[in-house]
């Protein structure tokens, strides 16, 4: 057995006494979209399976086809011999879906963010980063060794001021989530693009929660806001609305070739597994063929949000899509209410620091296109009752 490290036990104690210790839970998702906890089915309002595709029989069949072909693992990194027909088919499907000439795959969305930013930005550059950006964007910025300035969430005045102040950098970048994963709001991309134009900066955006959910064709927030042509680098994940796993960048032939050569999380990691590639390709077919999924998602999310507001439950007012944060502020309250909702048959996320700033602990309720109106009404009632029964 490996020796114990006393400082690790102390660090765990400290987390525990601050109410911030996290535990692994064993999850079991059923084929019909429900989730099972201790043998009891509960409704999933926590996962990012926005369009209900992760268990769709068509994705399962597509993955099986790759498996029957004898392809469980990809066997090697893409540049060695890991990029085969399944990966290539997905790349072509993604490029066509995104309206770009080419695309490159990564093992995860996190790897896509880290590898892409570190490859594209360098030590002589300046990066402006929204304070609420996903951890993987922040890690990519750090790894690039660029000079990094963090601006208050969506604070365009500070963004402008920082760009005006700093003129010596070779290249200037603005890095932002398009849909913020914990607040559910959309970055003001049009205004950010205008500022970028004025100061000669380029944008790198993360469409993790936009792909499949927003835009007339489901390409994300950039499509919805009409700024696709102005974004230098658009990064996506296959693990949210697309229902599988992996990350990608769709873009010009040059950008993709550059990332094939220079994005270390792609060069030095085994290619995406064929069953995942096959399932993701099928998911994009479905996203294109069944636009009703994202239309219904938008409608039911808006109705659910309205229901909470009518009950005077504190949500984040700028949130618009399927992510519905209910602010409780105290981490113990968030964990307690999530546990009681689970007993009542609803799985919701309890989000605490360091994922969100101190004093903003919350429930993160995620709406899916296959939730019924009745499910949503019952959850809204349960949330109201639990909040009303909080002491004080
Ligand atoms: C989930 C998420 C990622 C990471 O994607 P994975 O495919 O899960 O690694 C990146 N950015 C944002 C904003 C996310 O929410």
Q: Tens of pLDDT along 96-122?
A: 999 999 999 999 999 999 999 999 999
Atom of ligand 1 lying closest to residue 177 CA: 13
**Res. 290: pLDDT tops 90:** yes
Question: What's the pLDDT at 68?
Answer: 95
Instruction: Please measure the distance between the N-terminal and C-terminal CA atoms of the chain and give it in whole angstroms.
Output: 48
**CA nearest neighbour of 207 among 199, 217, 198, 197:** 217
Q: DSSP string covering 80-148, please? A: III--HHHHHHHHHHHHHHTSSEEEEESSHHHHHHHHHHHH--TT-EEEEETT--HHHHHHHHHHT-EE
Residues taking part in catalysis: 181, 209, 240
Q: 55: CA distance to ligand 1 center in Å?
A: 19
pLDDT category, 40, cuts 50, 70, 90?
confident
Nearest CA owner, ligand 1 atom 5: 109
The least confident of 78-92, 288-302, 314-328 is: 314-328
If you measure from the C-alpha of residue 386 to the centroid of ligand 1, how many angstroms do you get, rounded to a whole number? 30
Distance 180 CA to ligand 1 centre (A): 11
Residues 131-160 have a mean pLDDT of 96
**Nearest protein Cα to ligand 1, atom 7:** 109
Task: Verify whether ligand 1 is closer than 6 Å to residue 272 (CB atom).
Answer: no
88 pLDDT more than 90: yes
Average pLDDT, the chain: 94
d(CA 124, CA 377): 53
Confidence of residue 330 (pLDDT cuts 50, 70, 90): very high
Q: Give CA–CA dist 363/386, Å, rounded.
A: 12
What pTM did the predictor assign?
Answer: 0.94
Going by pLDDT thresholds of 50, 70 and 90, the confidence category of residue 28 is: confident
Q: Average pLDDT for residues 198-218, to the nearest whole number? A: 97
| Cβ–ligand 1 contact at 178 (below 6 Å) | no
Q: Sketch out the chain's domains with CATH numbers.
A: 20-49+291-388 (3.90.1150.10), 57-289 (3.40.640.10)
Ligand 1 near 114 CB (within 6 A): no
Q: Is 247 in the pocket of ligand 1 (CB under 6 A)?
A: yes
Summarize the confidence of residues 180-188 as an average pLDDT.
95
Whether 364 lines ligand 1, by a CB cut-off of 6 Å, is no
Residues 222, 375: Cα–Cα separation, whole Å: 31
Burial of 167 (0-12, 13-18, 19+ CB in 10 A): exposed
Q: Which pLDDT score is estimated for 19?
A: 79
Q: Which of 175, 181, 208 to mutate to test the pocket of ligand 1 (most atoms within 8 A of CB)?
A: 208
Cα–ligand 1 centroid distance for 109 (angstroms):
5
Q: How far does the centroid of ligand 1 lie from the alpha carbon of residue 220, in Å?
A: 14
Which stretch of 16-25, 229-238, 335-344 has the lowest confidence by average pLDDT?
A: 16-25
375 lines ligand 1 (CB under 6 A): no
Quick check: CB of 110 below 6 Å from ligand 1? Answer: yes
* Mean pLDDT along residues 129-155: 96
CB of 239 shorter than 6 A to ligand 1: yes
Task: Report residue 317's pLDDT band, with 50, 70 and 90 as the boundaries.
Answer: confident
pLDDT at 355 over 90: no
pLDDT at site 318? 86
Going from the C-alpha of 306 to that of each of 94, 303, 390, the distances in angstroms are: 35, 5, 22
CA 17 to chain centre: 30
């Amino acid at each position: 057995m490996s020796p114990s490290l006393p400082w690790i036990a102390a660090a765990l104690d400290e987390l525990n006494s601050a109410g911030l210790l996290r535990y692994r839970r064993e999850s079991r998702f059923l084929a019909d979209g429900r989730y099972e906890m201790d043998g009891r089915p509960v409704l999933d309002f926590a996962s990012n399976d926005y369009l209900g595709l992760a268990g769709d029989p068509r994705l399962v069949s597509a993955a099986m086809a790759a498996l029957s072909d004898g392809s469980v693992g990809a066997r090697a990194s893409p540049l060695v011999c890991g990029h085969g027909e399944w990966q290539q088919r997905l790349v072509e499907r993604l490029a066509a879906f995104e309206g770009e000439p080419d695309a490159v795959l990564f093992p995860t969305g996190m790897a896509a963010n880290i590898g892409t930013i570190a490859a594209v930005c360098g030590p002589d550059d300046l990066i402006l980063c929204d304070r609420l950006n996903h951890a993987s964007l922040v890690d990519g910025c750090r790894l690039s060794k660029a000079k990094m300035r963090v601006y208050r969430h969506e604070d365009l005045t500070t963004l402008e001021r920082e760009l005006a102040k700093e003129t010596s950098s070779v290249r200037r970048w603005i890095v932002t989530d398009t849909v913020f994963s914990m607040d559910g709001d959309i970055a003001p991309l049009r205004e950010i693009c205008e500022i970028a134009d004025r100061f000669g900066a380029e944008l790198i955006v993360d469409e993790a929660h936009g792909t499949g959910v927003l835009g007339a064709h489901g390409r994300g927030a950039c499509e919805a806001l009409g700024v696709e042509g102005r974004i230098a680098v658009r990064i996506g994940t296959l693990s949210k609305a697309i229902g599988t796993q992996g990350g990608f960048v769709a873009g010009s032939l040059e950008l993709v070739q550059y990332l094939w050569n220079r994005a270390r999380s792609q060069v030095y990691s085994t290619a995406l597994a064929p069953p995942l590639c096959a399932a993701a390709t099928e998911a994009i077919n479905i996203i294109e063929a069944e636009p009703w999924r994202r239309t219904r998602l938008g409608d039911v999310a808006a109705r659910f949000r309205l229901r909470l507001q009518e009950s005077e439950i504190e949500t984040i007012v700028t949130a618009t899509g399927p992510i519905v944060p209910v602010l409780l502020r105290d981490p113990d309250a968030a964990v307690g209410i999530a546990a009681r909702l689970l007993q009542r048959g609803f799985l919701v996320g309890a989000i605490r620091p360091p994922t969100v700033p101190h004093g903003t602990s919350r429930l993160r309720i995620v709406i899916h296109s296959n939730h019924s109106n009745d499910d949503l009404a019952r959850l809204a009632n349960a949330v109201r009752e639990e909040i009303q029964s909080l002491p004080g």
